[in-house]
Amino acid sequence: MNTVVCMKQVPDTETLIKINPEGTGIVTEGIKWVMCPYDEYAVEEALQQKEKFKAGKVTIVSLGPDRAIEAIRTGLAMGADTAVHINDAAFYEKADPYATAAALAAAVKDLEYDAIFCGKQAIDDDSGQVPAILGELLGLPVVTLVVKLEVSEDKTKAVATREVEGGHAVVEVSLPAIFSAQKGLNEPRYASLPGIMKAKKKPVDVKTVSDLGVSVEPMTAIKEMSLPPARQAGKILEGEDAVEKAKALAKALHEEAKLI
């Protein structure tokens, strides 16, 4: 089974994030970058499907600047076969979900695939739109929040279990299709040392957006970005007894918090 995995490199969840002086994004220097955790489920699913069918190729497609190659190599070390790196810093800088999906669609359209796997969302900007827009651009069905996937022997259809509020929904879809991976789909493997050794020899096709013939403009732009407000210190109410403390609480809620 041939598959494509759309993957994004994102800041590590443990890294300390700062907003840039313009307030339009984060400071990208001096932080740690990793493969988006949801994309790891996508890579793992692609590898498991390939192993199940004992044939096929897994191609990673990623839009990102030079540093994105690190996450691409991680995917290759896990076992993916090839990759397309859309390396276009200027485009990437301004890319919104639509522009991202347009670039990915252009890179994917010439590849052979039975399915495309994406993470359900990138954990940095949390838009969660790319799989759906990609489906629209490629004219493919999209199944989101997949936690289980079974592909038919003839690779013409698949049955996917989706996570829905309070339970699960089972969906049948014809292939090729796009699946967005939710936590629980699988347990992503660790890269192995032989895998890491092999990864450096695997082909990575580097392209700019103009190489791909993409000339779209983003439809949205970030005007302002801010960190959540720092948590305020708590306040201990004074009072001789419960009645006094309740009075102090009512007063604080009325005068300070202005809630009552």
Identify the sign of the CA torsion 15, 39, 160, 191.
Answer: negative
Closer to other proteins by Cβ: residue 73 or 120: 73
Rounded to the nearest 5°, which phi and psi values hold at 99? -65, -40
Q: Does 73 bind other proteins (CB under 8 A)?
A: yes
Is 181 in contact with 120 (CB distance < 8 Å)?
A: yes
Rounded least distance, CB 12 to other proteins, Å: 10
Tokens representing 242 are: 């419960």
Rounded least distance, CB 170 to other proteins, Å: 30
Q: Does 167 bind other proteins (CB under 8 A)?
A: no
Q: Does 3 bind other proteins (CB under 8 A)?
A: no
Residue from 90, 197, 222, 237 that binds other proteins (CB under 8 A)? 197
DSSP state of 241: S
Angle value at C-alpha 112, between 108 and 117, nearest 5 degrees: 60
Residues 6 or more apart whose CB falls under 8 angstroms from that of 129 comprise 97, 98, 101
Residue from 4, 199, 214, 216 that binds other proteins (CB under 8 A)? 199
Closer to other proteins by Cβ: residue 77 or 103: 77
Q: Near other proteins by CB under 8 A, which window of 50-58, 153-161, 188-196, 218-226?
A: 188-196
Q: Does 77 bind other proteins (CB under 8 A)?
A: yes
User: d(Cα 198, Cα 232) in Å, to the nearest integer?
Assistant: 51
Residue among 64, 93, 95 nearest 220 (CA): 95
Q: Binding to other proteins (CB under 8 A): which residues in 52-71?
A: 70
Q: Near other proteins by CB under 8 A, which window of 45-53, 99-107, 186-194, 204-212?
A: 186-194
**Contact flags string 127-166 toward other proteins, x per CB under 8 A:** ----------------------------------------
Q: Does 234 bind other proteins (CB under 8 A)?
A: no
Residue from 194, 213, 228, 229 that binds other proteins (CB under 8 A)? 194
> What is the helix (H) or strand (E) element at residue 206, kind and residue range?
strand 204-207
User: d(Cα 46, Cα 80) in Å, to the nearest integer?
Assistant: 8
Q: Does 8 bind other proteins (CB under 8 A)?
A: no
**Contact flags string 24-43 toward other proteins, x per CB under 8 A:** -----xxxx-x---------
Name the region of 23 (left: φ>0; alpha: ψ -120 to 50; beta: rest).
Answer: left
Q: Near other proteins by CB under 8 A, which window of 54-62, 125-133, 187-195, 208-216?
A: 187-195
**DSSP, residue by residue, 112-176:** --SEEEEESS-TTT----HHHHHHHHHT--EEEEEEEEEE-TTSSEEEEEEEETTEEEEEEEESS
Q: Does 200 bind other proteins (CB under 8 A)?
A: yes
Tokens representing 217 are: 């403009």
Residues that bind other proteins (CB under 8 A): 14, 16, 29-32, 34, 70, 73-74, 77, 190-194, 196-197, 199-200
